[in-house]
């Protein structure tokens, strides 16, 4: 199944801001492809599941790190971006899944767990929730 084209990570005022989304990391890009397919088979739509390769994550994180002094970066959690960058440099592939409801987030985690899920965080309106 063809993946939708993504230009960049979800942002608000140029700051990474995927409110209502779960960011997931997998051991490699191939695992993220399999996990994405499982989510689609499990009832998530094409528009709800975006896959990012390790190279895409590295580029976005390095670009974000270079803008930490930019006033628009207020609220950007530099430590989280550094963590995503480290995972990507280890070869991890990523999914960003739109799952604003708690039950939907839990279902997404249950579906992808068999594919080596290494990390999952949900961006709520005012909090960041570690799911795996």
pTM of the model: 0.78
Question: Quick one: average pLDDT of 84-88?
Answer: 94
Q: How many angstroms separate the Cα of 54 from the Cα of each of 63, 84, 89, 96, 103?
A: 14, 9, 7, 13, 28
Q: Which of 33-37, 61-65, 79-83, 114-118 has the lowest mean pLDDT?
A: 61-65
pLDDT band, very low/low/confident/very high, at 74 (cuts 50, 70, 90): very low
Identify the bridge partners of residue 129 per DSSP, sorted by sequence position.
Answer: 122
Residue 14 falls inside a structural domain? no
Tell me which residue range forms the domain holding 47: 19-130
Residue 27 falls inside a structural domain? yes
Residue 4 falls inside a structural domain? no
**Total of domains in the chain:** 1
């Amino acid at each position: 199944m063809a993946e939708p084209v993504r230009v960049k990570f979800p942002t608000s005022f140029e700051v990474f801001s995927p409110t209502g989304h779960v960011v997931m990391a997998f051991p490699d890009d191939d695992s993220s492809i399999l996990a994405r397919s499982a989510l689609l088979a499990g009832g998530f739509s094409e528009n709800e599941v975006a896959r990012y390769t390790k190279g895409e994550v590295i580029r976005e994180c390095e670009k974000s790190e270079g803008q930490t002094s930019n006033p628009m970066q207020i609220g950007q959690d530099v430590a989280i971006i550094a963590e995503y960058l480290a995972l990507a440099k280890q070869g991890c592939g990523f999914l960003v899944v739109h799952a604003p409801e708690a039950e939907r987030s839990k279902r997404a985690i249950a579906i992808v767990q068999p594919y080596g899920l290494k990390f999952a965080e949900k961006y709520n309106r005012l909090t960041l929730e570690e799911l795996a």
